[in-house]
């Protein structure tokens, strides 16, 4: 028998919907299980976008390892380009400005 922990999370948008998260690591707190699931969900969204919208595995004509790596690299580069452009359109700070905020927050706040 495998021990598991179930965490129920209420949907923020639809109050009648719940999500059940199952973890086989019963020592994790509820908050940690939710945090890990959130990171995993971001990865799922990344691959869904790459497969559905950026043609991961659809454009590839070759079957060699090198051609698969090259194709995957090109698709991921497309994603990164679109993600940076999307961030630039939604966040008016520059990339340098984001690093400055990070530097002030992390280096100054945690070094004192």
User: Quick count: other Cβ atoms within 10 Å of Cβ 55?
Assistant: 14
User: 79 with 49: CB under 8 angstroms?
Assistant: yes
**pLDDT score of 101:** 59
pLDDT tens by residue, the chain, 112 residues: 899 999 999 877 777 888 899 999 999 999 999 999 988 888 888 999 999 888 887 878 888 999 889 999 999 999 988 888 887 788 766 666 666 655 565 555 555 4
Beta bridge partners of 8: 20
Cα dihedral 54→55→60→61 (10° resolution): -130
User: 5 with 23: CB under 8 angstroms?
Assistant: yes
**pLDDT score of 23:** 95
Query: pTM, whole model, 2 decimals?
Result: 0.57
Residue 90 to residue 83: CA distance in whole angstroms:
11
**pLDDT score of 108:** 57
**pLDDT score of 56:** 86
DSSP β-ladder status, 18-23 and 5-10: antiparallel
């Amino acid at each position: 028998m495998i021990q598991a922990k179930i965490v129920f999370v209420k949907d923020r948008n639809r109050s009648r919907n719940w999500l059940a998260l199952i973890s086989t690591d019963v020592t994790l707190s509820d908050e940690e299980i939710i945090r890990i699931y959130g990171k995993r969900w971001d990865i799922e969204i990344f691959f869904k976008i790459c497969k559905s919208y950026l043609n991961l595995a659809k454009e590839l004509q070759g079957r060699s390892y090198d051609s698969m790596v090259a194709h995957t690299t090109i698709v991921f580069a497309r994603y990164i380009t679109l993600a940076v452009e999307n961030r630039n359109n939604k966040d008016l700070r520059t990339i340098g400005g984001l690093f400055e905020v990070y530097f002030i927050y992390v280096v100054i706040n945690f070094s004192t």
